[in-house]
Amino acid sequence: MEEAPVRRFEDLPPAAQRALQEAEERRKYIDAKQEDLPKEVNGRGGLEPTRYDDWEVNGLTSDF
């Protein structure tokens, strides 16, 4: 089975490029905000599961 060709960022339409850049800015903001949080004592470790305003663990998101 052939793999789909990998598209470069420059080959994407301008709207897609803009959306990816905006998403990257949001991730940087969220990551910076996470670094400012106090460290949890005896916590589960890893990233804050609510950093994207939904509960996320191992890539699975639950919005409850």
Q: Tell me what pLDDT residue 64 has.
A: 60
| Residue 33 three-state SS | helix
Tens digits of per-residue pLDDT, 11-58?
A: 999 999 999 999 999 989 888 887 787 777 777 666 777 777 777 777
Q: In whole angstroms, what separates CA 2 from the centre of its chain? A: 29
Judged against a pLDDT cut of 90, whether residue 61 lies above it is answered with no
Rounded CA separation 27/55 (Å): 16
Q: Is the pLDDT score of 63 beyond 70?
A: no
More confident residue, 21 or 63: 21
In angstroms, the CA 25 to CA 18 distance is 11
